[in-house]
Amino acid sequence: MEAEGLDWLLVPLHQLVSWGAAAAMVFGGVVPYIPQYRDIRRTQNADGFSTYVCLVLLVANILRILFWFGRRFESPLLWQSAIMILTMLLMLKLCTEVRVANELNARRRGFAAADSKDEEVKVAPRRSFLDFDPHHFWQWSSFADYVQCVVAFTGVAGYITYLSIDSTLFVETLGFLAVLTEAMLGVPQLYRNHRHQSTEGMSIKMVLMWTSGDAFKTAYFLLKGAPLQFSVCGLLQVLVDLAILGQAYAFARHHPKPVPHTVHPASTKAL
């Protein structure tokens, strides 16, 4: 009787917690990029942020959306992918604009210096997606080129998925590719730290944010009965995060007093 009398409180409370968890899944992944975006706009310097992070997350989330057509999963995970794609496009747009503006300013200073010395300044050629130059892949001069690449990849991957949607093997492989791509996002940071035997330039607070977010995400996958791919992805991300934190602890013992300096984080990733 007492339990039944509390239903009026427990049922809406459970619904509220469920909505909160879903909202955290949808929007939590973009939170680490908000200070990064504001910092780039404030400093007009995007050197500390790798646009390859955007490439990895765009590929992973496009594949995840295509995976949804073959095997339906929780709607918040689908919306999370859509929000992340929009966020990465905004990051790409800002980084491209800042880089082009800085190159233009450097070119103007070069022309001014050359005029005073009667020297010739070489103008860097414009790089375009339609050049199909693998040496300058993802290093283009216009945001429109990145959009063209994303649209082309989505079209090709979507067409292949449409032709193979009835194949269980293809659908499951597509899901593993999507989550494995995202899970490996922290590996370049792990390798960089190992190669330099240092974590300088890396924000420990950001890594702690990664770890807590990945742990929450993995728990959400397990509790909601998401496809196996998602749980594997979450566990891999947590392990990579813990390895990076272990590096920070180990290297801090060898370099207790690093030289103070201000840099951007070497890499960022999604929750």
Tell me if 2 is assigned to some domain: yes
Residue-level pLDDT at 241: 86
Same domain, 146 and 93: yes
Same domain, 17 and 139: yes
Show Cβ contacts of residue 168 under 8 Å, excluding neighbours closer than 6 positions: none
Same domain, 23 and 141: yes
Please classify residue 271 by burial: count the beta carbons closer than 10 Å to its beta carbon, then call 0-12 exposed, 13-18 middle and 19+ buried. buried
Same domain, 40 and 157: yes
pTM: 0.76
Asked if residue 214 lies in contact with residue 251, where contact means CB atoms within 8 angstroms, the answer is no
Total count of domains within the chain: 2
Same domain, 27 and 141: yes
Residue 155 CA to chain centroid, in angstroms? 21
Query: How far from 63 is each of 55, 172, 206, 241, CA to CA, in Å?
Result: 12, 11, 26, 23
Which range of residues forms the domain containing residue 236?
185-255
Query: How far from 214 is each of 5, 196, 201, 234, CA to CA, in Å?
Result: 37, 26, 22, 6
Query: The domain that contains 242 carries what CATH number?
Result: 1.20.1280
Same domain, 160 and 190: no
d(CA 103, CA 97) in angstroms, rounded, equals 10
Tell me if 125 is assigned to some domain: no
Tell me if 172 is assigned to some domain: no
Same domain, 90 and 7: yes
Residue-level pLDDT at 119: 54
Output the tens digit of pLDDT for each of the chain's 271 residues.
Answer: 455 556 666 667 767 777 777 787 788 778 878 888 888 888 888 876 778 888 989 999 999 999 999 988 888 889 989 999 999 999 999 999 998 888 877 777 665 665 555 555 455 567 787 777 888 888 888 999 999 999 999 999 999 999 999 999 999 899 889 888 888 877 877 877 788 787 765 667 767 877 887 888 888 888 877 788 788 888 888 898 899 888 888 887 776 554 444 444 445 554 4
Among 209, 190, 174, which residue's Cα sits nearest to residue 28? 209
Same domain, 198 and 157: no
Same domain, 195 and 151: no
Same domain, 103 and 7: yes
Same domain, 36 and 147: yes
d(CA 174, CA 170) in angstroms, rounded, equals 6
Tell me if 173 is assigned to some domain: no
Tell me if 229 is assigned to some domain: yes
User: What letters, b where the CB count within 10 A reaches 16 and e where it falls short, cover 168-189?
Assistant: eeebbebbbbbbebbbbbbebb
Asked if residue 241 lies in contact with residue 214, where contact means CB atoms within 8 angstroms, the answer is yes
Residue-level pLDDT at 7: 66
Tell me if 116 is assigned to some domain: no
d(CA 186, CA 192) in angstroms, rounded, equals 10
Tell me if 35 is assigned to some domain: yes
Tell me if 56 is assigned to some domain: yes
Same domain, 159 and 238: no
